[in-house]
Every structure is written in structure tokens, then in C-alpha cells.
């Protein structure tokens, strides 16, 4: 922003930006004067100019909300360092400096924390930031740069950004223990289409089943143009190819608990020694060994983000009418439907339903599309 003219922007802050100060002398006033009326105004003027207004004027640049925060505040860049957020948790977040590689424990500027936003947390792993360094490798995050390649979901009506600024999404699922969840894969594929992230479907633990059993599923995704990688972290099957994929890339591994995300990272990056655990024999569910998204720099260049296991993934900012446009296999049939606003669920002369009935579209994929319309 150094070459741009400073602008004053009127923007919204959260309601608790300022709190009304409670009078502490009400009891004393009552004891001294009782309920006597005074000459002060008995009504309160409510407008946008009071000290409790949610609007504030800041100096900076207005941005598209999908790129992160709606405001890019002006800061003194000469006094700041650029860096990448490694993880988020508590009052301080580790930020690695681009210049020195040192890791600073940084607090987030109050202005950023109190801007009105749909995000559950203003900061995310992978964020590019400007921070003001202090002594003892501490600092203050002054600005969060616009994002791209965002992996996010809906959490209690707000946007939960799991990781930002990635270009490769490794969707890890297991062939067994726990069983395959293709509907979760479909939702992650929709997110990758929406935010422009290259997806790779990684099918781990293929050593536990007959590989021929996966061919129908692999065939469906391969026909759609997606890359599928059969893997086994224990037998080192496919790990060399996976290692080549992540060289120099900004990657994230995502999937349900117990599918072997941390085990795969240990296999492709010697010395990581990430904690792993076994799947419960009773519930066939994995145990959470990764509790927060964490950015891991790779010796071969680039970085990879290990994320906590996902049990539910609700799409963020995707209305039902948009879902079909993010499904590569369904999209070509949309223009052949009789009605332009066809939902492809109950209408007559629907090209997508006809294709499913004729066997040209996979039935499970169509059922997955219908589920995404409902949630």
C-alpha cells in the first residue's frame, strides 16, 4: 500500500468494541436524594455518532470480503516485518519471518480483532501478515494480507477458516479403519472448486483391502478429471509420488480422524515425528491427535499444513443453486433441463435425473448432491 493514497474508510466493528460504563454511585444517590426528579434529559438519543456506535473511521483500503477482512488497514511498513502464521491458538500465535526465518510469538492488533466479520477467528494458519517486532522474539500483528486458496467451513453460522493461502489440497480418506466416506470427499471437492484449490484424492491404507474394490470409486473421480493417489503409510506405497507433489507447494492435508494424515506426513518428511494413534476397535473412529491446524515447513521447499480430523463439513457461502455448478460431472447437463431454475430433485424433464436413470451419471454422486442441497 506504500504507493497508494491513504483513504479514510467508514467500517463496522463488533458490538463490544466499546462498552457502556456502568455508574457505581446509584445507591448513594438514592440514599441522599431518593427518587427526586432532576433536570437532566430523560431520553437517550440513538444515532450513528455516539461513543457506542459500531461504525469507526480507519485509514486503509476497502477489500472484497471473500479475500479475508473487508479492510486492509494502513501501517508503517518500514517498521514491520513480513511473515507467515504457523498456527493459531491462545493470545499469541507463532509467525515465521520471511527475512530471518526466526519465529516470533505475536499478539493480534485490537483493531483487527474487533472488526465486524463473519469469521470465527480473524487469524488463520497460513495467513500472510505484517507484524511489528519487539524484544525477545515477540511482536504485534498489524495487518493481515488478502487471502487466496482458503479451506473453510461453516461453524455455528460463522466462517471457520482452517487454513489460508494454499494451492494444493490433499483430501485423505482411508480404505478401511475407518471406512471410506465419499460424501465428505464430495464436499471438499466443492470447496476446492469454489476457492480455486487443486485437489488430490489420497486413498490411504490400501494394504488393508483388495485394491480391486476401489476401482469403481476411482473410476468415477478419474472420469471427472480428479487426480487419485492410492497410498499406504505403513508399507510406503505411493509415498514417493506424494513427496514429489508437495515439493515447493503450499499444501494442506484434510480428512476425518484416523485416516492417517499425520502418518503420511511422517512418511514423506523424515524427522517430523508427529503423534499418531490407533483407530478405536469399538467405534471404528479415529482419535484426535492433531488439535489445531499447524503449518510445517518442508526441507524440500514449500510447506504443508496438518489439520485436525473432520467429522462434519458444512459448506461455507454456497447457496443450493450454486452446488451443481461446482460438480464437474453434473454441470454439463444443466443447460439441457426443461426449466432454467431446475433444482434437479423433483422437476419433470430434468437432464440430470435422466442421466442418472440411464447410467450416465453415478447414483451415489447424485445422492451426495441432494444431501448438499439439504445442509
The whole-chain average pLDDT of the chain stands at: 86
Higher-pLDDT residue of 343 and 3 is: 343
Place 286 in a pLDDT band, splitting at 50, 70 and 90. Answer: very low
Vertex 33 angle, CA 28 and 35, to 5°: 105
Q: Residue 358 pLDDT more than 80?
A: yes
**Whole-number pLDDT of residue 287:** 55
DSSP 327: -
**Whole-number pLDDT of residue 291:** 75
Q: Residue 56 pLDDT more than 60?
A: yes
Q: Residue 276 pLDDT more than 80?
A: no
**Whole-number pLDDT of residue 99:** 92
Q: Residue 52 pLDDT more than 80?
A: no
Q: Residue 44 pLDDT more than 60?
A: no
Least Cα distance to 305 among 174, 195, 165, 181 occurs for: 165
Q: Residue 272 pLDDT more than 90?
A: no
Q: Residue 282 pLDDT more than 50?
A: no
Write down all domains in the chain, each with its CATH number in brackets.
57-147 (2.40.50.140), 151-306 (3.40.50.300), 320-374 (1.10.40.50)
**Whole-number pLDDT of residue 10:** 77
Q: Residue 16 pLDDT more than 90?
A: no
User: What H or E segment, with its residue span, contains residue 374?
Assistant: helix 363-374
**Whole-number pLDDT of residue 2:** 46
Q: Residue 6 pLDDT more than 70?
A: no
**Whole-number pLDDT of residue 340:** 94
pLDDT in tens, 87-119: 998 889 999 999 999 999 999 998 888 887 888
Q: Residue 257 pLDDT more than 60?
A: yes
Q: Residue 42 corresponds to which cell in the numbers above?
A: 430523560
Tell me the pairing of strands 151-155 and 158-163: antiparallel
DSSP 129: E
Angle between helices 261-268 and 239-246 (to 10 degrees): 80
pLDDT over 70 for what percent of the chain? 84
**Whole-number pLDDT of residue 68:** 79
**Whole-number pLDDT of residue 283:** 46
Q: Residue 172 corresponds to which cell in the numbers above?
A: 485423505
Round to whole Å and give the CA distance between 53 and 69: 20
Round to whole Å and give the CA distance between 265 and 306: 8
pLDDT in tens, 172-221: 999 988 889 999 999 999 999 999 999 999 999 999 999 889 999 999 99
Higher-pLDDT residue of 143 and 114 is: 143
Q: Residue 52 corresponds to which cell in the numbers above?
A: 457506542
Amino acid at each position: 500500500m506504500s504507493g497508494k493514497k491513504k483513504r479514510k474508510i467508514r467500517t463496522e466493528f463488533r458490538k463490544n468494541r466499546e462498552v457502556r460504563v456502568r455508574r457505581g454511585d446509584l445507591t448513594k444517590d438514592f440514599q441522599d436524594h431518593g427518587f427526586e426528579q432532576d433536570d437532566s434529559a430523560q431520553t437517550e438519543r440513538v444515532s450513528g455518532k455516539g461513543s457506542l456506535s459500531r461504525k469507526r473511521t480507519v485509514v486503509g483500503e476497502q477489500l472484497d470480503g471473500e479475500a479475508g477482512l473487508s479492510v486492509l488497514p494502513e501501517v508503517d511498513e518500514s517498521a514491520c516485518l513480513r511473515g507467515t502464521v504457523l498456527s493459531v491458538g491462545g493470545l499469541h500465535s507463532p509467525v515465521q519471518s520471511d527475512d530471518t526465518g526466526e519465529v516470533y510469538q505475536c499478539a493480534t492488533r485490537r483493531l483487527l480483532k474487533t472488526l465486524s466479520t463473519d469469521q470465527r477467528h480473524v487469524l488463520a494458519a497460513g495467513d500472510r501478515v505484517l507484524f511489528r517486532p519487539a524484544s525477545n522474539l515477540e511482536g504485534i500483528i498489524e495487518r493481515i494480507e488478502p487471502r487466496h486458496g482458503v479451506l473453510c467451513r461453516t461453524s455455528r453460522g460463522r466462517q471457520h477458516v482452517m487454513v489460508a493461502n494454499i494451492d494444493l489440497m490433499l483430501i485423505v480418506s482411508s480404505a478401511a479403519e475407518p471406512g471410506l466416506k465419499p460424501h465428505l470427499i464430495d464436499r471438499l471437492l466443492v470447496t476446492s472448486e469454489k476457492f480455486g484449490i487443486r485437489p488430490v484424492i489420497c486413498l490411504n491404507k490400501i494394504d488393508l483391502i483388495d485394491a480391486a474394490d476401489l476401482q469403481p470409486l476411482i473410476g468415477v473421480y478419474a472420469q471427472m478429471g480428479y487426480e487419485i493417489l492410492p497410498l499406504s503409510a505403513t508399507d510406503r506405497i505411493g509415498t514417493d509420488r506424494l513427496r514429489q507433489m508437495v515439493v515447493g507447494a503450499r499444501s494442506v492435508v484434510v480428512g476425518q480422524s484416523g485416516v492417517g494424515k499425520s502418518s503420511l506426513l511422517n512418511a514423506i518428511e523424515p524427522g517430523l515425528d508427529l503423534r499418531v494413534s490407533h483407530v478405536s476397535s469399538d467405534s471404528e473412529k479415529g482419535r484426535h491427535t492433531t488439535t489445531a491446524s499447524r503449518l510445517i515447513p518442508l526441507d524440500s521447499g514449500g510447506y504443508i499444513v496438518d489439520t485436525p480430523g473432520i467429522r462434519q463439513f458444512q459448506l461455507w457461502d454456497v447457496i443450493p443453486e450454486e452446488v451443481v455448478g461446482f460438480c464437474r460431472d453434473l454441470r454439463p447437463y444443466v443447460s439441457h433441463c426443461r426449466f432454467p431454475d431446475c433444482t434437479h430433485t423433483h422437476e419433470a424433464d430434468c437432464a440430470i435425473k435422466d442421466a442418472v436413470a440411464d447410467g450416465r451419471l453415478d447414483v451415489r454422486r447424485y445422492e451426495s448432491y441432494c444431501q448438499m442441497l439439504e445442509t
